[in-house]
């Protein structure tokens, strides 16, 4: 009996000791195994499909755009023979008008003296006087030929015509009208030199075309002055009668036709040795404004 009790005590003691061991919490940290194998970190470039890739080396050299010289050449006056015509306005510095004004005043004084004598003997009216204009305006025309050596130099020959008439009316004591006038006409022939002015010196826009024109004149017959008091024919002077200097600007060009605007000064001296001449000499110079067509 004592042995049986001892056996159960041992049995229950072992049983309880195993149960407490099974319920204990395992607090041990377990480290996961690390894969220490060395990874291949080399950068791998994906192959490029060159089937559709343009591998041609591009030419990046800066290429100068060719200058369009066609328009530049078209603005030049081509070498060779050309023709020109011009029209314009010429303000004559005609100082000799004072001579005709003096003659006119003298005639008017005669009418006044006549009126003073007869004014008390009848119904007479006082004389009326007009004076000559102080500016002589004429519209000259000219034409000629020109030889163009190059775009810079040319030489030309031309002839022109100018005409101006000044007319006034005086009335006498009987109210009758009396016309008095003088007429100036001239046939100037000239040789002309044209010089192209560089755009670096004077320019307004691209392809500007300023020119300097130098003229030397001869007055051809029948250059003369006719008036109510007489006339005077100009002598032909082989050495010439004057000069002109003009500044020209080409403002229009098309198919070889050039249109110039010109402005300048002219001096034209005329002398007369004819009998009963009303004037010994006179000057037809002044300021000229011209339009020239060159083709």
Per residue, what are the HEC states of 133-180? Answer: CCCEEECCEEEEEEEECCCCEEEEEEEEEEEEEEEEEEECCCCCEEEE
Per DSSP, the residues of 83-124 read: EEEEEEEEEE--TTHHHHHHHHHHHHHHHHHHHHHHTTSS--
CB 244 within 8 A of CB 264: yes
pLDDT in tens, 17-27: 444 343 343 44
Query: Tokens in use for 72?
Result: 């530049």
Answer yes or no: is pLDDT of 137 > 60.
Answer: yes
CA distance 122 to 115: 10
Percent of the chain scoring above 90 in pLDDT: 51
Q: Taking the CB of residue 184, how many other CB atoms lie within 10 A of it?
A: 23
Which is more confidently placed, 37 or 75?
75
Flag the least confident range among 26-30, 97-101, 127-131, 258-262: 26-30
State the Cα–Cα distance between residues 236 and 218, nearest whole angstrom: 8
Instruction: Write the CB contacts of 241 (distance below 8 Å, at least 6 apart in sequence).
Output: 188, 217, 218, 219, 268, 269, 270
* pLDDT attached to residue 124: 85
Domain boundaries, the chain: 73-92+138-166+180-294
Whether omega before 210 lies within 30 degrees of 0, making that bond cis, reads: no
Q: What is the DSSP letter of 52?
A: G
Per-residue DSSP letter, 256: T
| Confidence class for position 123, pLDDT limits 50, 70, 90 | confident
Tell me the fold of 73-92+138-166+180-294. Porin (2.40.160)
pLDDT digits (tens, 9 = 90+) for 173-193: 888 999 999 999 999 999 999
Rounded to an integer, what distance in angstroms lies between the CA atom of residue 283 and that of residue 293?
28
Helix, strand, or coil here: 78?
coil
Helix (H) or strand (E) holding 3, with range, is helix 2-22
pLDDT classification of 152: cutoffs 50, 70, 90: confident
pLDDT band at residue 71 under the 50/70/90 scheme: very low
* Banded pLDDT at 208 (limits 50, 70, 90): low
20-45 b/e with 16+ CB inside 10 Å = b?
A: eeeeeeeeeeeeeeeeeeeeeeeeee
Least confident of 38-47, 122-131, 229-238, 250-259: 38-47
| HSE-CB of 116 using CA atoms within 13 angstroms | 6
The whole-number pLDDT of residue 31 equals 44
**Sorting pLDDT into bands at 50, 70 and 90, what band is 241?**
very high
Residue with token string 């320019």: 203
Mean pLDDT across 35-60: 46
End-to-end CA distance of the chain: 160
Tokens of 6: 């001892």
Q: Output the average pLDDT for the chain.
A: 79
What pLDDT band is residue 270 in, cutting at 50, 70 and 90? Answer: very high
Contacts of 178 (CB under 8 A, 6+ apart): 107, 169, 170, 171, 172
Say how far apart CA 282 and CA 232 lie, in whole Å.
10
119 has pLDDT over 90: no
Instruction: Read off the DSSP letter of residue 277.
Output: B
Compare 176 and 69 and report the one with higher pLDDT: 176
Supply φ then ψ for residue 184, to 5 degrees: -115, 130
Sequence-distant (≥ 6) Cβ neighbours of residue 88 within 8 angstroms: 139, 140, 262, 288, 289, 290, 291
């Amino acid at each position: 009996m004592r042995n049986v009790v001892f056996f159960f005590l041992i049995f229950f003691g072992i049983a309880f000791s195993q149960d407490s061991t099974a319920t204990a919490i395992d607090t041990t940290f377990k480290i996961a195994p690390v894969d220490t194998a060395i990874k291949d970190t080399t950068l791998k470039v994906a192959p490029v499909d060159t089937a559709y890739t343009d591998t041609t080396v591009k030419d990046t050299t800066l290429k100068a755009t060719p200058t369009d010289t066609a328009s530049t050449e078209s603005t030049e006056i081509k070498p060779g023979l050309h023709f020109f015509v011009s029209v314009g306005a010429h303000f004559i510095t005609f100082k000799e008008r004072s001579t005709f004004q003096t003659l006119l005043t003298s005639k008017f004084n005669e009418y006044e003296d006549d009126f003073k004598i007869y004014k008390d003997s009848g119904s007479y009216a006082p004389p009326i006087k007009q004076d000559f204009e102080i500016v002589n305006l004429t519209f000259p025309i000219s034409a000629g030929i020109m030889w163009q050596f190059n775009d810079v130099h040319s030489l030309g020959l031309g002839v022109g015509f100018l005409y101006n008439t000044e007319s006034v009316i005086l009335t006498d004591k009987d109210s009758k009208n009396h016309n008095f006038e003088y007429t100036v006409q001239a046939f100037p022939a000239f040789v002309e030199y044209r010089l192209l002015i560089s755009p670096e010196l004077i320019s307004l826009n691209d392809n500007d075309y300023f020119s300097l024109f130098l003229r030397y004149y001869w007055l051809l017959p029948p250059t003369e002055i006719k008036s109510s008091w007489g006339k005077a024919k100009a002598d032909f002077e082989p050495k010439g009668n004057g000069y002109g200097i003009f500044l020209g600007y080409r403002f229009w060009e098309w198919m070889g036709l050039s249109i110039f605007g010109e402005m300048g000064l002219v001096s034209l001296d005329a002398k007369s040795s004819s009998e009963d001449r009303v004037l010994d000499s006179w000057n037809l110079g002044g300021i000229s404004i011209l339009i020239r067509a060159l083709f």
